[in-house]
Each structure stands twice: as C-alpha cells, then as structure tokens.
Structure 1
Amino acid sequence: MNAFIAAAVSTPWIPIVIVLAVLIDAFFPPVPSESIVIAAAAAAVSVGQPNIALVVACAAVGAIAGDNLTFAIGRKVGLTRFAWMRRPRMRAALDSAGRGIAKRPAVFLMSARYVPVGRVAVNLVTGASGFPRRKFFLLSVLAGVSWAVYSVAIGLLAGHLLHGNALLGMLFGIAGGLASGVIVDQVMRLITRRESRNRAAGPDHDSAETEPRESECIGAE
C-alpha cells in the first residue's frame, strides 16, 4: 500500500486532482477535498512528492474558485430551485447561515470554509442575499488560503509523527482534519443556538423590566 501511495502521489496529475476535488467540494460536500489535501501533504513527508508549496497553492485555488462558484449559484438561482436545497438538513443549514451572515458575515464566511456542509450553505445564502461580490471575493481569498495552509499543516504534522509510513500518516491526518471540522461545526451551532435563545428571551425580559416600573409609578401616585 505504501508503494502504491508513493507511485500515486508522484504522478503529474496530482495538482489537477487537488484543484478539481476542492472546487467540486465547495458545492458538492460528498467529495472529500480535505482528505485529499491532507493525504497529499502527509505523503509528501514520507515519499517527497508532491511539492508542499504546490499542494497549498492548488488547494487555495480550488477553494477560492469553488466558493465563488457557489456564491454565483446562490446569486443566480436562489435557495429553493433545486430539490437538495429543500431537504431538512440543508434548510436548517441555510437558515442558520442566514442568521449568522446577518450578524457577523466575515466571521461566518471564514469559519464556514472549515465545515463541508456549512461552507455550501453560507456561500449560497451570501450570494442570494445580495452580499457585495467584491467583499465576498476578498473574504474567500483569506478563507481559502488559510484553509489550505491549515489542511497541509495537519498533513505535515501527521507525516512527521508517523514518518516512514505514508498510509498511517495519511489516515492520522485525515482523522485530525475531520475532527477539526466537527469541532468548528459544533462551535457554530452553539453560537447560533445561544443567539436564538437570547432573541426568544428578549421580549419577556423587556416586559419583566417594565412591570416594576409601572407599579412603582402607581405606588408613587
């Protein structure tokens, strides 16, 4: 298996595979782009191929292009035209993304890049909401480059910890990448739920504050 990996990552097609996988994953989450980037970086430590700088560049280009393509889809077709947009999980993600973008667009756009389904929902909603295209592009560049560097760093760490074994390094790195995505997703969910509870409690809290004041006025009279 290690010999097969060494031969696979040495092929000149690897950069194209990375770009296409990351681009497609921006609007079709089942494509495991994080796993491919992390695996390529982990393999580079063990077998010397592919070039690390090239992996970072290809991952960043694919991420930026894919996110902007998803943004364009949201701007062009909206959020309900296709059946997959109306599925319960996607609707929940779109609703959450809409609330997050309305409050903290930069934070949500940057953090959503690390969550497979989250990045699709956030980019679609951002496009459909009329968010400025130039501002989105600049944020997508920052998010894409940081995500590429982060993913390659995980692969490099895994490769060094398990040096000499490309397969184990790749598996360890992929597991770390998936775990980080789950953590970011849970943090975003907790923030959204807390904001929802605060909004729900807002009117009751305000009325509770006004009642004592009214009674005080009556007593004063």
Structure 2
Amino acid sequence: MDELIAGLAAKPWALVVLAGLVFADAFLVVVPGEVAVTALGTVAVAHGLPPLWAVILTGAAAAFAGDVCCYLVGRLLHPHRWRILQRPTLQRALDGAARRLRTHAATAVFTARFIPFGRLAVNLSAGAAVVPAVRYLPIAAVAALAWAAFQALVGAAIAAIVPGGTVVAVLVSIAIALAVGWTVDVVLAKVRPAS
C-alpha cells in the first residue's frame, strides 16, 4: 500500500488534483482542501515525491486563486443581496467580516484563512465592502502561503514522528487535520454567544 501511495503521489497530476481540491474549498467548505494538503505533506516527507516545497506552493497558489475569485464575486455580485445568504447567521458572519476588514484586515484574513466558512465570508465581504485590491490581495497571498505551509508541515511532522509507514501517517494526519478543524469550530461556537 505504501508503494501504491508513493506511486500516485509521484505522478504529475497529484499536484493538479491538490490544486483543484484547494481551489474548490474556497467556495465549497465541504471540500477537504486542508486534509489534502496535510496528507500530501505526509507523503512528501515519507517518500520525497512530490517535494514538500511543491505541496506548499501549489496549496498556497490554489488557496490564493480561490480567495481572489471569492473577492471578485463579492465585488461584482454583492453577496448581501443573495437569497441563499439571507439567513441571520450568514448575514452576521458577512457583516462581522466587513467590520473587521475595515479596522484589522490582516488579523481578519489570517484568522479566517483557517476557518472554512470564515474564509469564504471574509473574501466575499472584502469584495462587497470594496476593500482596495492593492491592500487586500497581498495580505490574502501571505495568509494563503502561511496556511499551506502550516497544513503541509503538520503532515510532514506526522510522517517524521508516526511509525507504521505512509498509510498510517496519512490516516493520522487526516485525523489530526479533522480534529483541529473540529476544535476550532467548538471554540468558535463557545466564543460567539459571549460576543
């Protein structure tokens, strides 16, 4: 099984699939972009292919491309008017993101980069609030790179620490990526009522 995973990861299309998943994750929060970067980071360290730097740069480029597209959608289509986003919780998320972008853009973007719906809300809100692209997009690019490096390095660390081969390391890295996401959701759910 380790050889099969290594063979698949060594294919040139492995990074294309990674980019597709991460890009889709910008719009569809159910797509496992984080898990894909973490798992491929694990394989990169365990087998050397694809190179870890390529996993990080591909993940970052795809995340940034998705963020730019969401920003443009917000700028051109004004998401506050969309019927699907009229639910009070979604409107509060968009309004809160717009407020934070006016005062603390870097903090909002970096924090939201690690929160699936938060990332979507901040990018759409930045576009809808007409945050200047020359101010917003460099922050989004650095945040995407930091996110991809973190996800891939978590996978790399797991590959270096966990015995049992690539399959075990990938499964552990996926479990940890899911646990971190779940923990963030729980913490945010506890913090929201107080704020």
Both proteins in one fold, TM over 0.5:
yes
Equivalent residue, structure 2, for 1:85: 85
CA distance in 2, matches of 1:189, 1:65: 29
CA distance in 2, matches of 1:186, 1:96: 19
**Aligned-partner SS, 2:79:** coil
Equivalent residue, structure 1, for 2:67: 67
* Post-superposition CA distance 1:124-164 (Å, at most 9, x none): 01110111111111101110110111011100011112245
Equivalent residue, structure 2, for 1:159: 159
Supply the AA of the counterpart residue of 2:67: D
Equivalent residue, structure 2, for 1:170: 170
CA distance in 2, matches of 1:35, 1:46: 16
RMSD: 2.2
Equivalent residue, structure 2, for 1:148: 148
Equivalenced residue count is 195
Supply the AA of the counterpart residue of 1:145: L
CA distance in 2, matches of 1:189, 1:106: 22
Please identify the structure whose Cα radius of gyration is greater: 1
**CA pair 126-12 structure 1, distance change in 2 beyond 3 A:** same
Does residue 117 of the first structure (1) align with residue 121 of the second (2)?
no
Matched-pair contact (CA < 8 Å) for 1:96–1:192: no
CA distance in 1, matches of 2:185, 2:138: 23
Does residue 56 of the first structure (1) align with residue 56 of the second (2)?
yes
Residue 28 of structure 1 and its aligned partner are, at CA, apart by 1.6
Q: TM-score, normalised by structure 1?
A: 0.78
* Post-superposition CA distance 1:75-103 (Å, at most 9, x none): 01111454443345533432332343344
CA distance in 2, matches of 1:23, 1:17: 10
**CA pair 100-180 structure 1, distance change in 2 beyond 3 A:** farther
CA distance in 2, matches of 1:94, 1:164: 44
Unaligned 5+ runs, structure 1:
197-221
Equivalent residue, structure 1, for 2:35: 35
Residue 22 of structure 1 and its aligned partner are, at CA, apart by 1.2
Matched-pair contact (CA < 8 Å) for 2:109–2:143: yes
Matched-pair contact (CA < 8 Å) for 1:118–1:185: no
CA distance in 1, matches of 2:141, 2:184: 19
* Post-superposition CA distance 1:2-59 (Å, at most 9, x none): 3332222121101111222111211221211111111111112222221111111101
Q: TM-score, normalised by structure 2?
A: 0.88
**Aligned-partner SS, 1:46:** helix
CA distance in 1, matches of 2:91, 2:105: 19
Matched-pair contact (CA < 8 Å) for 1:18–1:33: yes
**CA pair 107-185 structure 1, distance change in 2 beyond 3 A:** farther
**CA pair 143-115 structure 1, distance change in 2 beyond 3 A:** same
CA distance in 2, matches of 1:138, 1:192: 29
Identity of aligned residues (%): 32
Supply the AA of the counterpart residue of 2:17: V
**Aligned-partner SS, 1:23:** helix
Residue 106 of structure 1 and its aligned partner are, at CA, apart by 1.5
